[in-house]
Amino acid sequence: MVAPDLSVRIGRLQLAYPTLMGSGCYGSGEEYAPFADPAKIGGVVLKSVTRAPRLGNPVPRLVHTPAGLLNAIGLQNPGIEWYLRHDVAKFAGRPYRTIGSVAGFSVEDYAYVTERLAARDEIEAIELNISCPNVGHEGETFGCDPDLTSKVVSAARGATDKTLIVKLSPNVTDIASIALEAQAAGADALAVVNTVRGMAIDTNTWRPRLGNVTGGLSGPAIRPIALLAVYEVARAVTIPIVGQGGIETLSDALEFFLAGASAISIGTANFTDPRIPARIVDGLAAYLSARGLGSLRDIVGKANPG
């Protein structure tokens, strides 16, 4: 029997597998090569980069919670100039698609970094991180305001013809309205969702456990929140959705596809087991074959009457 078709097209970006590795959770890709077959993933979303270098937040930056991870890295990165000069060349010739991630603090920042990064052949698509909860409130402001979302996505759209994925925040009242603005402003796809704001307190010191006080929660704890966000966004937009938030197993992945995601992203799970993405891909093929289905597209949105 012919193997089911797991490929996905997102804008101009063709993925052999529907699995992206989440920004900030897969290094630059090469760190994982000894542990997981790089030819068995769809793509890697690189760590977000900003216009100026950033040292990131004070430590501690990570706190384990019963069903997830709180992080407040604070967009630590070397800034776009250094990144272009020293880092980007090594992304050439990877067996998966390489997606650059852009963060910023003004519309101009986003447009500038998008233009510079997308101009490089090694970078095949851009993800716009308008939803980072760990840099005061500025980073997330863009993804929490429909007007700012529209402005920043338009500016980035004007800066590149490459596939533009806009990453949305779950920390909003009406994610569908933000998604519609991003689509209208030219997004090719939406990443749904970034981390959920949270905190933890040390009961001995009476102090917050993160140096930044607040952080972003990821992992299984946020999966139902992320799934509902995908479900709601899928009812509102026509562009593809990259579902994410706590995906660890085939069953988790299936829920996101059935809710309306065309692809998924796996982040925190890679910290505990880098073989999870390949296991999900194998499981998807077996699941579709067992039901006589020829393509992943046959199940996308099937639990979503919208």
Ligand X SMILES: Cc1cc2nc3c(=O)[nH]c(=O)nc-3n(C[C@H](O)[C@H](O)[C@H](O)COP(=O)(O)O)c2cc1C
Catalytic residue positions, numbered:
132
Q: Quick check: 246 binds ligand X (CB under 6 A)? A: yes
Q: Quick check: 73 binds ligand X (CB under 6 A)? A: yes
Q: Which of 268, 276, 280, 288 binds ligand X (CB under 6 A)?
A: 268
Indicate the helix (H) or strand (E) that contains 127.
Answer: strand 125-129
Nearer to ligand X, 45 or 288 (CB): 45
CB 58 within 8 A of CB 112: no
DSSP helix/strand/coil, 242: strand
Take residue 82 and report the two structure tokens written for it: 């250094």
Take residue 141 and report the two structure tokens written for it: 């402001």
Region for residue 138 given its phi and psi (left: phi exceeds 0; alpha: psi -120 to 50; beta: otherwise) = alpha
Measured CA to CA in angstroms, residue 302 lies from 231, 282, 284 at distances of 11, 21, 15
Q: Which of 4, 19, 40, 48 binds ligand X (CB under 6 A)?
A: 48
Rounded to a whole number of angstroms, the CA Rg of the chain reads 18
In angstroms, what is the minimal distance from the CB of 88 to ligand X? 16
Contacts of 289 (CB under 8 A, 6+ apart): 1, 3, 4
Angle at the Cα of 102 from the Cα atoms of 271 and 52, rounded to 5 degrees: 105
Q: Which of 18, 215, 240, 245 binds ligand X (CB under 6 A)?
A: 245
Q: Which of 6, 8, 10, 25 binds ligand X (CB under 6 A)?
A: 25
Q: Quick check: 212 binds ligand X (CB under 6 A)? A: no
Q: Which residue is nearest to ligand X (CB)?
A: 24
Nearer to ligand X, 8 or 103 (CB): 103
- Region from 17-25, 139-147, 168-176, 275-283 binding ligand X, contact rule CB under 6 A: 17-25
Take residue 97 and report the two structure tokens written for it: 């698609």
Helix ranges, 9-106 (H) = 80-82
Q: Which of 111, 135, 237, 266 binds ligand X (CB under 6 A)?
A: 266
Window 93-132: contact mask with ligand X (x via CB under 6 A): --------x---------------------------x--x
DSSP helix/strand/coil, 80: helix
Q: Quick check: 194 binds ligand X (CB under 6 A)? A: yes
Q: Quick check: 192 binds ligand X (CB under 6 A)? A: no
Q: Quick check: 133 binds ligand X (CB under 6 A)? A: no
In angstroms, what is the minimal distance from the CB of 112 to ligand X? 18
Q: Quick check: 219 binds ligand X (CB under 6 A)? A: yes
**Cα–Cα distance for residue pair 76/146, rounded to 1 Å:** 26
Beta bridge partners of 48: 101
Q: Give, as one character, the DSSP assignment of residue 4.
A: P
In angstroms, what is the minimal distance from the CB of 289 to ligand X? 26
Which burial class, exposed, middle or buried, applies to 106 when counting CB atoms under 10 A from its CB (0-12, 13-18, 19+)? middle
In angstroms, what is the minimal distance from the CB of 143 to ligand X? 10
Binding residues for ligand X, per CB under 6 A? 22-25, 47-48, 69, 71, 73, 101, 129, 132, 167, 194-195, 218-219, 222, 244-247, 266-269
